[in-house]
Chains A and B, each alone.
Chain A
Amino acid sequence: MLIRPKAGILDPQGQAVERALPALGFEGVANVHVGRLVELDVDDPSRVPEMCERLLANPLIEDFEIE
């Protein structure tokens, strides 16, 4: 599961990373966002969306993708 801050909600962590990259000589970087990755083994993959909705992500402030 890839979980990232919803578009439109201020992401100061992404902004801090975005500011740090040019300081190291990495120019031309924009729209940096920092999310998190949850890996798991699961017997019944059909239940994964509910896991995301109820615990792994907060759908109010985060989007998630399941791979």
Chain B
Amino acid sequence: MKFGVVQFPGSCDERDALAAARRVGEAELLWHGDADLRGSEAVIVPGGFSYGDYLRVGAIARFSPVMGEVARFAREGGLVLGICNGFQVLCEAGLLPGALLPNTSLRFTCRQVDVEVVNASIPWTRGCEVGQRLSIPAKHTTGRYWAPGDLGDQVVLRYAPGHNFNGSMDDIAGVCNAEGNVLGLMPHPEHAVDILTGSVDGLALIGGPA
């Protein structure tokens, strides 16, 4: 499996995403200004920031040249994983339902959270079981997920009881598109790939399609 990891001006987790993807396959960076996925078989839109996140988080990044290709790739069934700011970008791009709003606390929060796998039938979660708990760090200011209506099976991950620190609707931590090939989540699986930093549970998601 060859992963492409998008790099926007302001991305800061693309190196960890590359390192995580290289534990399960090959990976290279995709520059935001190039409308070229360089033959990637799966694309990770990583965390950090993008274009200053002016206006709204992810609002301007979604119109970058690389995102046009990511959208086309996703519509053709290509595997896309959006993490944190990448999740926000995918929501703004309409590739995932809903939107991310400021945490109810209005504070940046960084903590290890437990998320529960709700849907283990999409490519990104096929290494998991329904009900499995993953310990993954989360770090954001704008992670309160909201969507109109009931998402049904598109809810892939929920914060475990007591772990929904940002006020997300129905404890939702990660959602997929209707087809299941695009997943977005606020916690950072790429930071949970080595026991040295406390958990390897992130590999269950990143390694899902590999």
CB distance from A2 to the nearest CB of B (A): 14
Asked if B14 lies at the interface with its beta carbon under 8 angstroms from chain A, I say no
Interface residues of A in 1-60 (CB under 8 A from B): 9-10, 12-13, 16, 55-56, 58, 60
Q: How far is the CA of A23 from the CA of B59 in the complex (A)?
A: 35
Residues of B contacting A61 in the complex (Cβ-Cβ under 8 angstroms): 99, 101, 146
B:59-107 near A, CB below 8 Å: 59-60, 63, 92, 98-99, 101-106
* Chain A residues positioned under 8 Å from B103 (CB to CB): 12
- Bound state CA distance, A12 and B102, in angstroms? 8
Q: Cβ of B101 and Cβ of A10 under 8 Å apart?
A: yes
A–B complex contacts, Cβ < 8 Å, 20 sampled: A9-B101, A9-B146, A10-B104, A10-B144, A12-B102, A12-B104, A12-B106, A12-B167, A13-B106, A16-B106, A55-B60, A55-B63, A58-B56, A58-B59, A60-B98, A60-B99, A60-B147, A60-B148, A61-B99, A61-B101
User: Which A residues lie at the B interface, using CB under 8 A?
Assistant: 9-10, 12-13, 16, 55-56, 58, 60-61
List 19 other contacts, CB 8 Å, given A12-B104, A13-B102, A60-B148: A10-B101, A10-B104, A10-B144, A10-B167, A12-B103, A12-B106, A12-B167, A13-B106, A16-B106, A55-B55, A55-B59, A55-B60, A55-B63, A58-B56, A58-B59, A60-B98, A60-B99, A61-B99, A61-B146
